[in-house]
Amino acid sequence: MNFKAELVACFGQPVAENPTGVMQEAAFAAAGLPWRYLTIEVAPGGLVDAVRGARAMGFRGFNCTIPHKVAVLPLLDELSKEARIIGAVNTVRRQGDRFIGENTDGKGFLRGLTHDAGMDPRGKRVVLLGAGGAARAIATELLLAGVAELIVVNRSVERAAPMVEDLKPHGPIRFVPWRVQYTVEPETDLLVNATSLGLYPNVDWMPDVDLTRARCLVADAVFNPPVTKFLAAAQARGLKTLDGLTMLVYQGVIGFTMWTGVAPDEAVMKRTLREAMVES
């Protein structure tokens, strides 16, 4: 009998606000793997010790959430190309004795885009609302996937300007300051909300955009609630939508595969996460 369990963890925000643990545990069980996913609240000052502890205890990897996604960089042995460009890590995998930093947020978005919404980003015109961590990850993957144009619309210049400068070497990206309502043109193929507008408990907030002429796919990174006011407004106009829960499931699917080397049962992960969100 083998009583050893492999461990992965999430270091970050309060445990009660993080639904990914139940999803990963359900996937381990469905795959018959003796693995556990521990969701652990780690204060900013505790990250160095948490990563040292993960090494000492032989963790197979971990996720990082706010506020650790950038602070974890110098604690790792290596970064993937995407994590280097984004400048943030949400997933760490162990290879031998080395911890490798990855960023699966944008990859999760891209997988939802191609698999669930059936859109190949190559040659597409994209408007991305926001310039925070989620926006950086999504922008990086969209540029690497070959979009024709990426317009970043953001309230603060301070956050958007450096992001656009950093990402310029990777593709056609430009910044439009968000001072008045942003009008989405019919030529836009994809509109993404990567701001936190609409996130629980501020569920009545939504990005100030005019969708009157829009004919695009509308995606939201906000996953709580799964159908944001923004997505509901797009649906009311007959536009196709892609929700943030799909992105969250797929970043977890990609992380699971990186840690275990096998593909999870995606249907189990989707169902568990949706149920967890309804219950919370």
Phi, psi (5° rounding) for residue 92? -120, 135
- Where does this chain bind ligand NDP (CB under 6 A)? 105, 108, 130-135, 154-156, 159, 194-197, 199, 221-223, 244, 247-248, 251
Which of 217, 190, 193, 216 is CA-nearest to residue 206?
193
Contact 206, 197 (CB under 8 A): yes
Nearer to ligand NDP, 34 or 162 (CB): 162
Tell me the residue number closest to ligand NDP, measured at CB. Answer: 132
Scan for tokens 């031998």, then name that residue.
96
CB of 251 to ligand NDP, least distance (A): 5
Of 4, 69, 107, 270, which one is the catalytic site residue?
69
In this complex, which beta carbon is closest to ligand NDP, that of residue 8 or of residue 222?
222
C-beta of 2 vs 181, nearer to ligand NDP: 181
Query: What's the rounded Cα separation, in Å, for the pair 217 and 234?
Result: 9
Q: What share of the chain is helix, strand, coil (3-state, %, to 5)?
A: 40, 20, 40
Residue 255 Cβ vs ligand NDP, minimum distance, rounded to whole Å: 11
Which helix (H) or strand (E) segment holds residue 209: the answer is strand 209-210
54: part of which helix (H) or strand (E)? helix 47-56
Closest CB to ligand NDP among residues 184, 247: 247
- Three-state secondary-structure class, residue 194: coil
Give the nearest distance from C-beta 55 to ligand NDP in angstroms.
25
Burial code (b: 16+ CB inside 10 Å, e: under 16) for 201-210 equals: eeeebbbebe
**Count of C-beta atoms within a 10 Å radius of residue 273:** 23
* Nearest residue (CB) to ligand NDP, 215 versus 240: 240
Query: Is residue 69 annotated as a catalytic residue, yes or no?
Result: yes
DSSP for 249-267, please give it.
HHHHHHHHHHHHSS---HH
Active site residues: 69
